[in-house]
Amino acid sequence: MPKRRLTAYLNNMDKRPILFIDSGIGGLPYCRDFLKSNRREEVCYAADRANFPYGQHSKDELSSILISLTKKLLIKVNPKIVVLACNSATVSAIEPLRKHFPGVPFVGTVPAIKPASNYSKRGKVGVLGTTRTIEDPYNQNLAYECEKKCEIIGVAAPDLVEFVEKRLDSFDKKDKIVKKEKKEIVKKYIYIFRAEGADCLVLGCTHFLYLLKEFKRYAFPFIRIFSSLNGVTRRIESLLDANSGALRADKKHQPVNKLILTGTEPADDGWKNRAEKLGFELYLSD
């Protein structure tokens, strides 16, 4: 077979899934955003319920948790790319994971500090995240790398993570009580950053994307909201397209997407409903 035809034949043949990892529902927006423009790619979303929430673990604990989990999932799922769809997981464990599994491409989810700093007129950028993300020097290091130097105002919001995971799970769009709660909890943090003089706010936790519309609505026109959603999708696509698309699946591939839950508890109705809405097969894993 001629070399050119052989190359074309070998390309677009990698049907292995792309693995997304988070402790709960926070990483699902990244998974959905990727699938919008990559329907032929197969994905597997792992919700590590056994260790929820990631943001309350120490850096060493979280690194150990994710190395152990990734080892199991590499055997079970055999992914071609692993996405840490969680800011806490990324800032704590992406480098240890890359060293532990050198042959695996990892994509991280980091706060969008660079674009926010470049946009800021006042030189003050707010970062809202988990305790683990806010305490990690990773954020300040990102700020140092920016052309435009800004003061980083970090605020931990573990209550916001719990609210999204627990309250929005059973949220009925007509539920006026939950609508009021969403408004109050988002405005509380907007007021904090306005008082600090920030004109940009980075949503540094994947869970907060569920409140993206509310943050944009109540921050306008004083604060501009930034997230890493689109950047993560572009990064995954760049890895798939490298080397003439060697990691791309066949255009005729019919993916079977999966949702894996860790922990010994059975899947509750919330996870069953999510799997059904996404069209994912639901599995339990120890």
Q: How long is the chain?
A: 286
Active site residue 86: yes
- The 10 Å Cβ neighbour count of residue 5 is 9
Contacts of 31 (CB under 8 A, 6+ apart): 20, 43, 45, 85
Chain position carrying tokens 């690194």: 63
* From-to residues of CATH 3.40.50.1860 in the chain: 8-109+230-285, 113-227
Active site residue 150: no
53 vs 165: CA distance, rounded Å: 10
Q: What is the pLDDT of residues 58-114, one digit of tens each?
A: 999 999 999 999 999 999 999 999 999 998 999 899 999 999 999 999 999 988 998
The whole-chain average pLDDT of the chain stands at 89
Question: Is it true that domain 113-227 has CATH number 3.40.50.1860?
Answer: yes
Among 2-11, 123-132, 244-253, the least confident range? 2-11
96 vs 15: CA distance, rounded Å: 27
167 vs 179: CA distance, rounded Å: 11
Q: Read off the pLDDT band of 8 (50, 70, 90).
A: very low
Q: What is the pLDDT of residues 213-238, one digit of tens each?
A: 999 999 999 999 999 999 999 999 99
Write down the pLDDT at residue 173: 57
pTM of the model: 0.86
141 vs 122: CA distance, rounded Å: 20
Catalytic residue among 31, 86, 150, 200: 86
Task: List, as one string, the DSSP characters of 212-258.
Answer: HHHHHHHHTTT-EEE-SHHHHHHHHHHHHHHHHHTTPPPTT-----E
CATH number of this structure's domain 8-109+230-285, picked from the four choices 3.60.70.12, 3.30.830.10, 3.40.718.10, 3.40.50.1860: 3.40.50.1860
Catalytic residue among 31, 150, 200, 205: 205
Write down the pLDDT at residue 5: 41
Q: What is the pLDDT of residues 156-194, one digit of tens each?
A: 999 998 889 888 765 555 577 778 888 999 999 999 999
